[in-house]
Structure 1
Amino acid sequence: MPELPEVETTRRGLAPHLEGHRVRSARVRQHRLRWPVDKGFARRISGAKILRLERRAKYLLMHTDRGCAIWHLGMSGSLRLVGPECAAEKHDHIDWQLDSGLVLRYRDPRRFGALLWTGGEPAEHELLAHLGPEPLSGDFHGDYLFSASRGRRQAVKALIMDGRIVVGVGNIYASEALFLAGIRPDKAAGSISRARYLRLAEAIKEVLARAIEQGGTTLRDFIGGDGQPGYFAQQLNVYGRAGQPCPGCGRAIRDLILAQRNTFFCSRCQR
């Protein structure tokens, strides 16, 4: 599914083409997404001016002069810009016709994504109000992680994937960051030292920043906002590589299930 780097890639790809433009009209072909799209959404957004695009965790926030549209790409969703002559296909559920002549199109074969609306402060929306700090911000660091982990018996991978602790560290990047930090994903969060959390926080920042720089990870059918796929999948060290040699020591990468998610690690390099 699209994770933080893919959503940030989408934001960066779309922003130059959306900010400052108006939505001439909108069409919702399929209201039944993860949460039903408001029946009055097309009327509400038509004529609105898009002021800026932001990302919060894995949510894309499109601020307008009327309110804020909150997008979530779910498991298979994508936002892209197409020409008006581009006919909608089976899984193209939402179109925004822009004053530039382009169409912002939402495609979602599995329909696990969402389009919500708020006229208030987006940070106070029920989906966003209880989220932890952004992993690439100054509020996220090793001392913060160390403090948050005290007394916790849960696996460290589950800790860093908890959106109340830190947002946007999904399954792929959690596995990769733990490999770089040399920490087993199933190690009890409360048993890990401050020094190792300092390294883990830096590894999370490094992995996410590199993925954003390279356009996100191409898995399944994700397409970035500029229509180009991501390329970070070519540089994954452990994720999806069970049985293959570890790039650090050569031992076979192992996999296990943690919190119902596939997890990949090296039993020699990660302790």
Structure 2
Amino acid sequence: MGKFKKFSLKKSLLVLGMFITVASLFLFFREYINLKKVKANNNAFESLSKWENGWKLYSGQNTSMNIDASTNSVELSTDGTSPAFIRNNNLNEDFSQYTGIKLSLNVLKPKDIAKISIYVSNDTKFTNYAVAGINQNSMLVGENFLSVGKSGFTKYNNFNWNEPIKAVQIRFETVNNTPAKITINKLYSLTHNKGKIVFTMDDAWDSQYTVAYQLMKKYSFPGTIGVITSATGGTKLNIAQLEELQNNGFKIMGSILVANLLFTHMVIIQQKL
């Protein structure tokens, strides 16, 4: 029979530490990827990115609209004396299943642009409409993406997302009457998968009960706490506190040291908000 080889406590802890590090990195990157998956879905606004179909210049004579068929984009410009905007009134889109709108555009000189806005309307006269925009301090030189959920739009009059969208308008304003232009690439409808967040706390310090837990309980947020089971009470959580946390939806990760063998039991739970 082969001889049983003893591992020192130091080596056991080193191996455990490497395992926990790898596992933690795996979980972190998995949650990072899944935290907010966003799909650009063209079903609702697919035709809107064909700029020659229904889009017209609705701003003054000092503005212009030029479609580039080779890149499927539209250049919108103004001499600065009035805002420039284009509009499509030939819609009847059910937007109830979507969660937002995304606009892809290019800006050469952000310092010259005051604001870029998207309007959606339940009617072609924009009586019942909603609007969202991006300000100068959020713009970059080159390609920009304006992604806005329904809740990010300001609604006016009787606008309702559950009613058909009949018209869309894209508008931009310049700073101090400065001539400027933007290039609009594509307009998308969005669906957002529900994100997941995991709250974890290490070493079971008493502040995790007196501070973190009290705040999380207020919003019904669960969490996971890592406990060194040989160190409870004092500045650490005591057994009664741990039981209360567990009874209120928290998950406990514990480690137990017995002689020179380290037995670790880890429970990793994704808490869905």
Structure with greater strand share of residues? 2
Structure ID, larger Rg? 2
TM-score by length of 2: 0.24
Please identify which structure carries the higher helix content: 1
TM-score with structure 1 length normalisation? 0.24
